[in-house]
Structure 1
Amino acid sequence: MNVEVVAKYLSTLPEEDDHPYRTGPWRPQTTEWDAVDLRVVEGEIPGDLDGVYLRNTENPLHPAFKTYHPFDGDGMLHIVGFRDGKAFYRNRFIPTDGFLAEQEAGGPLWPGIAEPVELARRDYGWGARTLMKDASSTDVTVHRGVALTSFYQCGDLYRIDPYTGDALGKADFAGGFPTDLGVSAHPKVDGTTGELLFFNYGKQAPYMHYGVVDERDALVHYVDVELPGPRLPHDMAFTENYVILNDFPLFWDAEMLKHNAHIPRLHRDLPSRFGILPRRGGSGEIRWFEAATTYVLHFTNAFEEGDEIVLDGFFQGTPEPTDAGTADGMDPRWQRFFRYLSLDGMQTRLHRWRFNLSTGQTHEEQLSDSLTEFGMINPSYAAKDYRYTYAATGKPGWFLFDGLVRHDLHTGSEQRYAFADGVYGSETAMAPRIGSTGEDDGYLVTITTDMTADASYCLVFDAAGLADGPVCKLQLPERVSSGTHSTWAPGSELRRWRD
C-alpha cells in the first residue's frame, strides 16, 4: 500500500474528551489521505467490481458550545475505488462555507441540534431551523458523474469529484438552486431518466417544496407542498411516475417553537400522512394518504403495481423512546440524551405501505421482525418491483452498526452476518458486478471501524452469499470514525474513469 498524507487539520476538541460520540468508534480524524494499491488482508479483490464506494461522515474538528450531538460534526467524504482488481482510498473534509469560516475563526460559530439558536456567533446560517452550520455531513449521492453531499436539515449541495475527492463548488441547478431553503438530505437520482428529485422544508408556509433537476443539471420543476405547520421530514421515495413525500407526527412542539426552542415531540393523536404527487405535478395534484402513527427515517424503494403505489421503509415502533436505553459503558446522562439514536430504542423494522390510487385506501404490513435500518438495494431496481434489501443491525443502546441482514421480500427469509465484537460497519452499498444479470448478482461494500485492531477495513461481500462472510478485506491507512450514509457509483457513470 502506497500512502500519502494530503493535509492535516488542527482540532480544538479537548484532549481528555469523554463524549461517547467523539471518542471510541466515533473518534474524529484530522488527516486527509491518499492510498493506492490497498493491502489485501483476506481474500482477493473481485476483477468485475468497478467503481467507487462513497461514505459521508460527521467528523468534528471543534467542540460544541454546550452539548454536542453526533449529527453536528463537519462533513468528511470517504472514497474506496475498485478498478482492474486493485483498490484505492481517499478521504476529504467537505469545504462548506461553515467549515471554512470555523477554520478561520479557530472554533465553533454555530450551535448544533441540541443547542439554542441564540448561541450563534454569526447573524446568518443554514438549516430548516436557521442559524445552523451547513455541515453537508449527512448523505451522498451521484448525479451526472459528480458526488453531491447534503445536510439533513437542508442547505447547499456540495459537488465533489468522486474519484479524486476534489471540491467542485456548490450545486447551482443552472441558476435555479433554491437558495432560501436549499435541499434536504436524501435527494434521489433516477438512473433511467437522469433526473435528480429533491425536497426541502422550513418554518414558513407552505413548509415544504418539491423539485426536479433534469439530466442537464437544470431545475425544471419546483412546487409548494402545503403542510399544516413546520415538520421534520428526512427522506422521500419515487416510482416511475410519482414521488412520495411525507408528514409524520414527530415534529417541533408548537408552543416551544413560539419561543424559538426546537424540541421535537411525538403527537400521538395524529396519523402519519403520505403525499403522492405526479413527478411533474402541480401543488393541487398531491393526494394525501393516512397511515398508522410513526416516524420513518429511511425508505428503501417504491414502485407501481396496478392501481397501487407500494412503498417500503423502516417503521419506528417507538418514535419517542421514554427510557434511557441499554448502552453498555455509556454514562447514564448521555443515554438519556441519545435515546433517539439506537435501533432498539426506536424499534425500527422493515415495513410496507400500499396506497390505492383508485379507492384512496391505505394498507400496511410489517415485513420483518428483525430490528434493522439503513437499507440499500441494487440501484438498478430503484422504482421497480424488487426482492432484496440489505440493511444494518444496531448495537443495543448505541448509534453503531454491528452487522448486516439481507431481507428477501419474496420469501421472508434473511441472511445475516455479524461483525466481531468491537467492530462496527457503515451503510452498505450494493454494487452490481460488470455484466450482472440478476438483482443479487454483485457485491456489498462497507467500511468498518475495528476497535480491537485499532484499524479500519473495507469489506466486500458476495451479495448472494452475505452469510458466508467477506470475499475481500482491505486495510485503510488509519482507523476512521464510524459513519453512516453511502452510495455506489459504477465506473461507467464516472467522467474520465478510464483516463
Structure 2
Amino acid sequence: MQITKLPPVRTTLEPSNHPYLSGAWTPCHEEVTVDELEVIEGAIPADIDGIYLRNTENPVHQPLGRYHPFDGDAMVHQVSIRNGKASYRNRFVRTHCFEAEQVAGQSLWGGLMDPPGTSQRPGFGAHGGLKDTGSTDIVVHGGVAYATLYQCGEAWMLDPETLENLGKAPWGPLDGVSAHPKVDEGTGELMFFNYSVHAPYMHYGVVDQAGKRIHYVPIPLPGPRLPHDMAVTKNWSILNDMPLFWDADALERDIHAARLHEGLPTRFALIPRHGQPDEIRWFEAEPTYVLHWTNAYEAKNEQGHDEVVLEGYHQSCPMPQPLAEHGRYAHMMAYVDEHSFQCRLHRWRFNLSTGECREQRLSDRIVEFGTINPDYAMRPSRYVWSTTTRPGWFLFNGYCRHDTATGEEQIFTLPEGVYASESPMVPRQGAVSEDDGYLVTFLIDENNGTSEFAILDASDIAKGPICRCALPHKISSGVHATWVERARLNESGSRQAAI
C-alpha cells in the first residue's frame, strides 16, 4: 500500500498511564492517506460502495488539569470502499480552538473534570468553559460531513471523501449544535437541537438539503438540562427532559456537577417537524437517563390509536458508584462504564390519543452504541446491532444482534485485548431482507499494537469478521461513526461544490 503522510501537527502530549491516554486510547497524531489497504483475511465484498467515517477523541496537547476521555481533539478516520477495494485516510478536525492551540503550542482550555478558572481563554458550549473540539459525533448531510460536540459547539464541516476541513456550518445558531443531529434521507432535511444554562434552555431546528436553516424554535424547560440525543419520525421530532442534570446550587458557583433529581419523571417532548412550541406534546415516563436512541417511528396500537414508538438504551443506574479498583480515576471510570449505569435496549410507546406512555424492556443484556439498517429508519425495524463493552471501561469488546420480534440474540465477542469501534450497518446493494448487509468497524489490537478495518456479516455476526484489512498505524479508540452510500454523495455533489 502506498502511504502519503501529512506534515506533523505540533504536540506537547507526554506519555501517560492515564487509562484514557494509554492502551487502546493512546492518541494517534499521524495524518496519512493510503491509496489501497492490504487485505489480510477474506475479501472486501463487491456489493459495498460508500464511506465509513469515525470520530475520535484524540488530544494533541498536555492537559491543563485532569483529563477526561471526552476532552480530546477530534480526529476523523475514513475508509472508502468501491469495487472490492478500500482506501484509508485520517485528519484532525481543525476547529478554531485546535488552531489556536497549534499557534500557542499548548492547551488553552481545561476539561470536563476541571474546576472553574482552569481555562486560559473563555470556553464554549452549554458548559461554558470547554474547548469546542467537534469530537463526539459525525453525520453526513447534503454531501457534507458534520463533526459535532456533545456540549453544543459549532458544527464543523468536512468533505466526506477527502476529509478536507471546510470550516464551521453557516447555519449554526448562537447556542451551538449538540451532537446527534438526525438526517431524513427522504426529504433531505437535517434536524438538530441545542441546550444551554439560560432560558428557554433548549432549542430545536431544521436545515434543508441546501444547507439553509429553515426552522428554529425554543423548547421551554424548567431549567438547565443535559440531553444527549434526539430522535425523529416522518412527522415528529422527539426531545427529552430527564432527571439527571446539573445541580442548581453548584451551577451558581460555576461548578457543573450532575446529579439525579429524585422524584422527577422522564419527560419527552414530541414536536411536529416544523412545529411551534404550543404544538409540543409532552409525555411522562419512569425516571432514567438515555444516551442514545436507535430508532423511532409511527404506528397504530391494538385499539387503532396513533402512536409514536421510540427505542433506545434505558439506564437503570444513571448515577453509578465509583469503581474503587481504579483508584483516583474511580468516579470517571464509572461514568463511562456501561456496566455501571446498566443500559439496556428499551421501547417507549406514546399514545397520541390518550397521552399515555407505555414502556417495554427489549433485552436484559448490558449494551449501547447501537445501529439499525438505515433503510428502516423512521419505520418499524426488527433488528438492532449493539456493542458490548469490557466491564469497567469504555471499550467495545463485541456485538449483540437483537431480534426485537422474537427476543433472540446473537453474540460475537472479540479476542481479549482487541477492541472495536461504533459500527454502522451497511445494507448490501440489492439487499432482500432487513439484515442483509454488513457491519463495518475499526479494530484496535493491544496484543500486537496494530489496528485494522474489519467487515462482519450482519445476518451472522457470530462467525466474526469476514474481511480484515491492515491499517498503516495504530489508531485511538473513539466515539461515534457513520456510513454514507456513494450514490447519496453523488446526489449531493452540487451542494458540496458550492461550499
Using the size of structure 1 for normalisation, the TM-score is 0.96
Counterpart of 1:321 in structure 2 is 320
Q: Distance in 2 between matches of 1:336 and 1:285?
A: 40
TM-aligned CA deviation for residue 66 of structure 1: 1.5
SS, match of residue 6 in structure 2: strand
The aligned runs of 1:8-157 (5 Å cut-off) are 8-15=8-15, 17-122=16-121, 124-157=122-155
Alignment equivalent of 1:338, drawn from 333, 341, 355:
333
Q: Distance in 2 between matches of 1:7 and 1:437?
A: 46
* Runs of 4+ off more than 4 Å: none
Counterpart of 2:303 in structure 1 is none
C-alpha offsets along residues 123-147 of structure 1, whole Å, 9 cap, x if unaligned? x331102131110000000001111
Counterpart of 1:267 in structure 2 is 261
SS, match of residue 119 in structure 1: coil
Asked whether the 8 Å contact 2:320–2:340 carries over to 1, the reply is yes
Asked whether the 8 Å contact 2:206–2:216 carries over to 1, the reply is yes
Q: Distance in 1 between matches of 2:272 and 2:324?
A: 41
SS, match of residue 459 in structure 1: strand
Q: Distance in 1 between matches of 2:71 and 2:316?
A: 26
C-alpha offsets along residues 145-181 of structure 1, whole Å, 9 cap, x if unaligned? 11110000001111111111111121113xxx31x21
Alignment equivalent of 1:162, drawn from 156, 160, 163:
160
SS, match of residue 249 in structure 2: helix
Asked if residue 430 in structure 1 is aligned to residue 425 in structure 2, the reply is yes
Q: Distance in 1 between matches of 2:366 and 2:331?
A: 20
Q: Distance in 2 between matches of 1:335 and 1:40?
A: 40
Asked whether the 8 Å contact 1:10–1:30 carries over to 2, the reply is no
Asked whether the 8 Å contact 2:68–2:332 carries over to 1, the reply is no
SS, match of residue 118 in structure 1: coil
C-alpha offsets along residues 271-330 of structure 1, whole Å, 9 cap, x if unaligned? 11111111111011111111111100000000001211100000011100024166xxxx
Q: Distance in 2 between matches of 1:496 and 1:476?
A: 30
Structure 1, unaligned runs of 5 or more: none
Asked if residue 401 in structure 1 is aligned to residue 399 in structure 2, the reply is no
Assess, with a 3 A threshold, how the Cα gap between structure 1 residues 158 and 76 changes in structure 2: closer, same or farther: same
C-alpha RMSD of matched pairs (Å)? 1.4
Counterpart of 1:453 in structure 2 is 448
Counterpart of 1:190 in structure 2 is 184
Q: Distance in 1 between matches of 2:211 and 2:430?
A: 28
Q: Distance in 2 between matches of 1:2 and 1:247?
A: 50
Aligned amino acid, residue 473 of structure 1: R
Counterpart of 1:204 in structure 2 is 198
TM-aligned CA deviation for residue 496 of structure 1: 9.1
Paired residues, number: 489
Tell which deviates more after alignment, 408-417 or 68-77.
408-417
SS, match of residue 108 in structure 2: coil
SS, match of residue 128 in structure 2: coil
Asked whether the 8 Å contact 2:142–2:492 carries over to 1, the reply is no
Structure 2, unaligned runs of 5 or more: 301-305, 494-499
Assess, with a 3 A threshold, how the Cα gap between structure 1 residues 471 and 248 changes in structure 2: closer, same or farther: same
Q: Distance in 2 between matches of 1:56 and 1:117?
A: 28
The aligned runs of 1:367-446 (5 Å cut-off) are 367-446=362-441
Asked if residue 251 in structure 1 is aligned to residue 250 in structure 2, the reply is no
Aligned amino acid, residue 112 of structure 1: G
TM-aligned CA deviation for residue 186 of structure 1: 0.2
Assess, with a 3 A threshold, how the Cα gap between structure 1 residues 408 and 496 changes in structure 2: closer, same or farther: closer
Tell which deviates more after alignment, 139-148 or 489-498.
489-498
Counterpart of 1:219 in structure 2 is 213
Tell which deviates more after alignment, 213-222 or 196-205.
213-222
Assess, with a 3 A threshold, how the Cα gap between structure 1 residues 221 and 60 changes in structure 2: closer, same or farther: same
Asked whether the 8 Å contact 1:303–1:309 carries over to 2, the reply is yes
Aligned amino acid, residue 287 of structure 1: R
Q: Distance in 1 between matches of 2:490 and 2:91?
A: 19
Q: Distance in 1 between matches of 2:399 and 2:227?
A: 26
Aligned amino acid, residue 155 of structure 1: G
Asked whether the 8 Å contact 2:65–2:118 carries over to 1, the reply is no
Asked whether the 8 Å contact 1:52–1:82 carries over to 2, the reply is yes
Aligned amino acid, residue 11 of structure 1: T
Asked whether the 8 Å contact 1:191–1:380 carries over to 2, the reply is no
Q: Distance in 2 between matches of 1:480 and 1:184?
A: 25
Counterpart of 2:468 in structure 1 is 473
Asked whether the 8 Å contact 1:56–1:140 carries over to 2, the reply is yes
TM-aligned CA deviation for residue 497 of structure 1: 10
Q: Distance in 1 between matches of 2:7 and 2:112?
A: 29
SS, match of residue 467 in structure 1: helix
Q: Distance in 2 between matches of 1:308 and 1:117?
A: 45
SS, match of residue 99 in structure 1: helix
Aligned amino acid, residue 45 of structure 1: I
SS, match of residue 163 in structure 1: coil
Alignment equivalent of 1:283, drawn from 234, 253, 277:
277
Asked if residue 242 in structure 1 is aligned to residue 236 in structure 2, the reply is yes
Q: Distance in 1 between matches of 2:376 and 2:470?
A: 31
Asked whether the 8 Å contact 1:335–1:397 carries over to 2, the reply is no
Asked whether the 8 Å contact 1:325–1:345 carries over to 2, the reply is no
TM-aligned CA deviation for residue 117 of structure 1: 3.5
Identity across matched positions, percent? 51
Aligned amino acid, residue 488 of structure 1: W
Q: Distance in 1 between matches of 2:82 and 2:324?
A: 43
Asked if residue 5 in structure 1 is aligned to residue 31 in structure 2, the reply is no
Q: Distance in 2 between matches of 1:423 and 1:271?
A: 39
TM-aligned CA deviation for residue 4 of structure 1: 1.6
Q: Distance in 1 between matches of 2:295 and 2:492?
A: 28
SS, match of residue 102 in structure 2: helix
TM-aligned CA deviation for residue 118 of structure 1: 1.8
TM-aligned CA deviation for residue 64 of structure 1: 1.9
TM-aligned CA deviation for residue 188 of structure 1: 0.3
Alignment equivalent of 1:487, drawn from 482, 487, 493:
482
TM-aligned CA deviation for residue 436 of structure 1: 2.0
Aligned amino acid, residue 81 of structure 2: F
Q: Distance in 2 between matches of 1:246 and 1:497?
A: 31
SS, match of residue 334 in structure 2: coil
